[in-house]
Amino acid sequence: MLTIADHDRAAAGLRYVYPVLSRRAQGISIGINLNPNNACNWRCIYCQVPGLTRGRAPEIEMDRLEDELRGFLSRLAEDESIFTGVARDMRRVADLAISGNGEPTTASEFPQVVELLGRMRAERPALRDVQIRLITNGSLVERAPVSRGIRTLGELDGEVWFKVDAGSAAGFRRINDTRLSPQAVARRLARCASLCRTWVQSCVFRLDGAGPQSREIDEYLTLLRTAGIERLQGVLLYGLARPSMQPEAPRLSALPAGELDAIAGRIRETGLRVRVSP
């Protein structure tokens, strides 16, 4: 059964496919988890993946992924009981999202997964208008197979949500526990946006009681300008929706709505659209 509260990726009892009833998307978001081993090449201090480890996605069993997806889509079409307790207007597939319990582009099969989703959507008239989306930290965008997969996603009229949580090397170390220069992130973001429609996805919160400082927001905006504001679709600005599963969890707290709105206002001054999710 589908519920808004249950974001447990094992909810459907499947390895790769996890449905989430999403109020924001006004329907069912079908997630494709390419990291069932909970491995990511980053370690964001707000990450909600339990038992997160450093690493990459395991080999993806493409036949099993396809079987799971076909099976789940058939069940949605044929088995009303799956919608028990779900409002009528939410009984639709809102999107197909490649994400997971880690960075999905670390999977060697990522380009084939994009092609598979494109095929599945083309086969089913009910999915014709369903968005295919990649949720990524963007770190591997410049690798040839990843670029190829993102280009295919662009051809499928899909979109990318590209994570940018800071604008300085110190910020990336502190928030994402990774060594990155803002120049490298801007270059990857620009590359991604040249291949497929790209939204920036940013998580903001208080760490040890302090939210992002004005200087840090300046650095973040400089990064987005370096990547090219005109290339970007906008910014999805998130608060702390669910508890962190990382050791830093007790040091994190949500930003008050007023502070989140103030940051959104600063971003809007650049001309970018901003969608805020507290």
Beta strand 252-253 pairing with 206-207: antiparallel
In the complex, least distance from residue 244 CB atom to ligand SF4, rounded to whole angstroms: 9
Among 7, 43, 70, 151, binds ligand SF4 (CB under 6 A): 43
Regarding 49 and contact with ligand SF4 (CB under 6 A), the answer is yes
Decide whether 57 or 120 has the Cβ nearer to ligand SF4: 57
Closer residue to ligand SF4, CB minimum distance, 52 or 224: 52
Q: How far is the CB of 37 from ligand SF4 (least distance, A)?
A: 12
Burial degree of 224 (CB within 10 A; 0-12, 13-18, 19+): buried
Which tokens sit at 90? 């939410």
Binder of ligand SF4 out of 68, 103, 109, 219 (CB under 6 A): 103
40 binds ligand SF4 per the rule CB under 6 A: yes
Chosen residue from 44, 107, 132, 232 binding ligand SF4 by CB under 6 A: 44
47: contact with ligand SF4 by CB under 6 A: yes
The stretch near ligand SF4 (CB under 6 A) out of 25-33, 41-49, 126-134, 265-273 is 41-49
Instruction: Name the minimum Å distance from CB 137 to ligand SF4.
Output: 4
Q: Is 120 or 236 the residue whose CB approaches ligand SF4 more closely?
A: 236
Q: Using CB under 6 A, which residues numbered 129 to 158 contact ligand SF4? A: 137
Does 164 engage in binding with ligand SF4 (CB under 6 A)?
Answer: no
Which is it for strands 93-99 and 27-33: parallel, antiparallel or unpaired? parallel
Kindly tell me which residue out of 19, 31, 102, 154 binds ligand SF4, with binding defined by CB under 6 A. 102
Q: Which is nearer to ligand SF4, 47 or 237 (CB)?
A: 47
Residue whose CB is less far from ligand SF4, 43 or 275:
43
Write a three-state SS string for the chain: CCCCCCCCCCCCCCCCEEEEEECCCCEEEEEEECCCCCEECCCCCCCCCCCCEECCCCCCCHHHHHHHHHHHHHHHHHCHHHHCCCCHHHCCEEEEEEECCCCHHHCCCHHHHHHHHHHHHHHCHHHCCCEEEEEECCCCCCCHHHHHHHHHHHHCCCEEEEECCCCCHHHHHHHHCCCCCHHHHHHHHHHHHHHCEEEEEEECCEECCECCCHHHHHHHHHHHHHHCHHHCCEEEEECCCCCCCCCCHHHEECCCHHHHHHHHHHHHCCCCCEEEEC
Shortest distance in whole angstroms from residue 140 CB to ligand SF4: 11
* Shortest distance, position 254 Cβ to ligand SF4, whole Å: 16
Cβ at position 202, least distance to ligand SF4 in Å: 12
Are 131 and 96 a contacting pair, CB within 8 Å? yes
Can you give the binding site for ligand SF4, defined by CB under 6 A?
Answer: 40, 42-44, 47, 49, 52, 102-103, 137
